[in-house]
Amino acid sequence: MLPFVFRRLPAMVFFLALVEAAGANQSVFLEIQGGSDALVDNVRAHLALEELPCDIAELRLRSRLRSADESISRALRALGYYRGDWHLIRERTEDCWRIRVQLNPGERVTLASVSLDIEGEAAGDPAFNRLLDNLPLREGMPLNHDNYRQARVSIEELGRNRGYFDGRFTERRLQVDTRANTATVRLRYQSGPRYRFGAIDFGDNPLDSSFLRRFSPFAPGDPYSTDALIALQHALNDSQYFKRASVDQGNPDAGSHRVPIHVELSPRSKFLTTLGVGASTDTGPRLSTGFANRRVNRRGHTYKLSGQWSPVLSNASFQYRIPGEDPLHERIILGAGVQREETDTAESTSYQLEASRTTRQGEDWLQTLSLSFIQENYRIADESRTATLLVPGINWSRSEANDSRYPTRGWRINASLRGAVEGLISDTSFSQAALDGKLILPLIGGRLITRAAGGATAVSDFSALPASLRFFAGGDNSVRGFAYESLGPENAAGEVLGGKYLLTGSVEYDYPVWEKYSAAIFFDAGNAFDSDQFNLHRSAGFGVRWRSPIGPIRVDFAFPLADGGFRLHLSMGPDL
């Protein structure tokens, strides 16, 4: 019997140790009654009794409670309660100490007079006017010492961020009249002169400083702003020329009131080679490759060779890019390419030369003017033709999102016009307009995603319009439940010819269910059509979304509402 007891003894000792440790981990119980939740929380934080263990010695607890009255008084005064009283009870229960505090906060102090004055150059700075308008310090408001402290900090921070490096408070006072239960606030800030940007030093790097200065939202002599420095750093990091860009201010010069700027840049490698694989139900398995020169010269010119192969869509292209005055948004692109597309409805091989110029319109819109020379060999139904076109075009686009990887609020819109005139290199005349957009909004813990697309073509001889310029519907990003580009006007044999017009729309709701996975339901509708032949195809379904390391991946099961059956859709790419 004895050996059995000894065999069990280590386990029993371990169990008792766990019980003792669990008891030691319990803390003093603190109960506070009276006053608002904010007041109770503040008293609790000032007392800090809940950090004490249950088995604390009585002598040590009494020592700790000697400062309790002062702690409670500070907690009350911090929120404007100067006439409060309280009662504290200490008692020992069977297994722990219990502290009860009964609060009677009394009447709260109110602000009887608030004077906030900005002097110096900052007196005319709109940023300071906006700050003062939003400070929680107004006559008649209850006193909160943290609001007063935060007001001082906010004014000083704004002064530094706006270049008032000599700024200081000439008066800073908070007075409380406990008899009248009122308070007076007096803040007077003397900003001094606003400093300006000095020279920008980009150090040694493979690009000209004159080119790099185009990324800067400010020039030497402009009023200093920390926001402008942050914008320059973001622009350089987003440029794809550098692995890292760091922008720092030098010491302000009190004599010239200038601030020198130092930029440290770590260039990326000059050449980039890429190889990728992907898949979608529209195009099947996909292999892509690319080669880029990030620095053709010191003026930031680049070029890129790229290619893609899939059973449905294959292409190869060359693009030479010349940055504009706003290098992040403005550019000239000279390009050439060939594309082969083979769907259930059409086959085409097109050769293209293109020149385009993208500029920024206003603050957010991008406008692209283009001129394309296209030669396309195509077959639709039983008819094969060759088209030659010189196509000028214009495009406007804009997008906004609260997160580039998983936006819960955002939108994009894209509008374009293009056409050709018979006799000016072109075989036929046509004009075409297209508009598409997408909107994402938060809804009940998930996202509501809507998209719509429309297009219209004016052409005298539709049969002379190549396949790439006709409208088709169906596919992963069109009307799910139908094959890629399988919807549109048909001939007598039921073969899809493509249409002059396009109208599609979708409503989708996705909801996060586990980590990076979401479940989705959707409804799609639309078709390509001619003016005398319109039939709206509809589908509904459900799917799964995975925010993978390489981007969002979507798997959908779509059910055509009139035709029956279902179709699996797999797609990749950003939401916007």
What value does the mean pLDDT take over residues 147-155? 95
Q: Is 496 exposed, middle or buried (0-12, 13-18, 19+ CB in 10 A)?
A: buried
- Print burial letters for 253-271: b (CB count within 10 Å at least 16), e (below 16): eeeebbbbbebebeeeeee
**SS3 sequence, 401-468?**
ECCCCCCCCEEEEEEEEEEECECCCECCCEEEEEEEEEEEEEECCEEEEEEEEEEEEEECCHHHCCHH
Sign of dihedral through CA atoms 557, 558, 564, 567? negative
**Mean pLDDT over each residue of the chain, to the nearest integer:** 91
Residue 571, helix vs strand vs coil: strand
The residue to which tokens 């700790």 are assigned: 64
Report how far apart the first and last C-alpha atoms of the chain are (Å, whole number). 75
Q: What is the pLDDT of residues 276-318, one digit of tens each?
A: 988 888 888 999 999 999 999 999 999 999 999 999 999 999 9
At 279 the pLDDT is 85
| DSSP bridge pairs for 284 | 280
Domain formed by 110-190, architecture? Roll (3.10)
Half-sphere exposure of 343 (CA within 13 A, CB side): 26
User: Which value, in Å, is the radius of gyration of the alpha carbons in the chain?
Assistant: 35
What value does the mean pLDDT take over residues 22-42? 81
Q: What is the pLDDT of residues 225-245, one digit of tens each?
A: 999 999 999 999 999 999 999
At 51 the pLDDT is 87
Residue type at 298?
R
At 129 the pLDDT is 93
Q: Where does the pLDDT of residue 25 fall: very low under 50, low under 70, confident under 90, or very high at 90 and above?
A: low
Question: How many angstroms from the chain centroid is the CA of residue 12?
Answer: 56
Phi, psi of 138 (to 5 degrees): -140, 145
pTM for the full predicted model: 0.80
Query: In this structure, what DSSP letter does residue 496 have?
Result: B
In the sheet with 196-201, reading across from the earlier edge strand, the strands are 196-201, 258-267, 242-249
The CATH label, of 1.10.287.70, 1.10.10.60, 2.60.120.200, 2.40.160.50, for the domain at 271-572 is: 2.40.160.50
What the block records as the tokens of 332 is 């000239």
Q: In 261-315, which residue ranges form alpha helices assigned H by DSSP?
A: none
For residue 482, give the nearest of 535, 434, 549 by alpha carbon.
535
Integer Cα distance of 386 and 466 in angstroms: 8
At 416 the pLDDT is 97
Same fold, 26-104 and 196-267: yes
Does 333 or 63 have the greater pLDDT score?
A: 333
Q: Where does the pLDDT of residue 10 fall: very low under 50, low under 70, confident under 90, or very high at 90 and above?
A: very low
Query: Which of these ranges, 50-54, 238-242, 474-478, 544-548, has the smallest mean pLDDT?
Result: 50-54
- Where residue 474 falls (left for φ over 0; alpha for ψ -120 to 50; beta otherwise) is left
- Kind and range of the H or E element at 227? helix 226-238
At 423 the pLDDT is 92
Q: What superfamily in CATH does domain 26-104 come from?
A: membrane protein fhac (3.10.20.310)
At 306 the pLDDT is 97
At 322 the pLDDT is 97
Q: What is the pLDDT of residues 86-96, one digit of tens each?
A: 999 988 888 89
Which residues touch 309 (CB under 8 Å, ≥6 apart)?
286, 287, 288
Integer Cα distance of 105 and 248 in angstroms: 49
| DSSP bridge pairs for 557 | 542, 568
Domain extent listing, the chain:
26-104, 110-190, 196-267, 271-572
What the block records as the tokens of 549 is 């390391």
The CATH label, of 3.30.530.20, 3.40.50.10470, 3.40.50.11540, 3.10.20.310, for the domain at 196-267 is: 3.10.20.310
For residue 295, give the nearest of 208, 203, 201, 202 by alpha carbon.
208
At 550 the pLDDT is 81
What the block records as the tokens of 107 is 């009447």
